A = this chain, B = another copy of it.
Amino acid sequence: MISGEGKLIRGQGPVRTGVTAVLPRGRDLDPAFAGWYSLNGNGEMTGTIWIEESGFLQGPVMITNTNSVGVVRDAVIEWAIEILKTDQNLSSIDDYYWYLPVVAETYDGYLNDINGFHVKPNHVFSALDTAKSGAVLEGCVGGGTSMICHEFKGGIGTSSRQLSEQQGGYTVGVLVQANYGERERLTIAGIQVGKEITDFLPDYHTDKPEQGSSSIIVVVATDAPLLPHQLKRIARRVPMGIARVGGFGANSSGDIFIAFSTANSGVANKSLNTDLQMLSNDRISPLFSATIEATEEAIINALFSAETMTGIYRNTVYALPQERVLDILKRHNII
């Protein structure tokens, strides 16, 4: 799996947005088995109808702002056609080809001029073409640039868990674009720290956003050989990780999750049958708890990585005061 980010921040201007790309197999469009789930569907993730039908995630998962889902989607098609022509020597368009990209979003209009439609195809190409393996950037980057989480500055966060050898040694990696939540519900390591940090609230120079508005997109990647229906099971554990940080899937929230496996390549080959491996259902529970733990931690990491930002309308959202959090946890004998 590789990932890339395109970030747009321009001058005083209110442009504070971007695009995040997660590519299960890099530039290889060979599908990965996938499943998805929506805790609260006040959001968009294109391409999910085909994932549900086929079990296939083809190409990248893209995350951007709400009003740029369309431009990102069509640009991914352009990018894929170019790849097919160059990498795969598909010289002629005569091989009729269609493709249904996966693009998700969260709303960033509290800090970004979202109605200015600033994301353009070249930002998409850039995010895709500069994607690389290794550490994923966290905080105010890519689609997560203008996120707000529990009324602190949010963004992109990641975390992973590796199972023991006896459990197969598989890895579960989680990437979140965290843009949800109320201050008073923020819970870290079981302690309701949000109730104890009532300052550092955002400065809004317009109407305050609705309580609990906005969203969280979660991408779960694993190398365990899970079938599509098993990956849906994984996606359905994500809410339990969010619950541990204080989210509850508010009505105004678009909480949509996708899980994919990098195992079992070549599943879309044109031969009659394909040989696969399936992880036993009886051995899947450790992946469930790994997903929950990594989701919880990825949200916390987004909060710890993000920096104070001033954006449109001179709204300012503050970074989580980390020392304060640590003090609270100490007071409760957690650390």
Contact = CB atoms under 8 A, between A and B. Distances in A.
A48 interface: yes
A78 B285 CA distance: 29
Contacts of A207: 94-96
Interface stretch (A131-139, A185-193, A317-325): A185-193
A332 interface: yes
A44 B46 contact: yes
Nearest to A211: B285
A163 to B, nearest CB: 10
Interface residues of A, number: 107
B280 A272 contact: yes
A65 to B, nearest CB: 9
Contacts of A230: 55
A116 to B, nearest CB: 10
A110 B99 CA distance: 15
Interface of A: 38-50, 52-56, 66-75, 77-78, 81, 92-100, 103, 107, 109-110, 115, 117, 168, 187, 190-192, 206-207, 209-213, 225, 227-230, 233, 236-237, 239-244, 247-252, 254, 256, 267-285, 288-289, 292, 313, 331-334
Given A271-B280, A275-B275, A332-B334, 17 more contacts: A41-B49, A41-B50, A42-B54, A42-B100, A50-B254, A52-B229, A55-B227, A56-B281, A70-B70, A92-B206, A225-B273, A227-B227, A249-B288, A267-B278, A268-B281, A272-B280, A274-B277
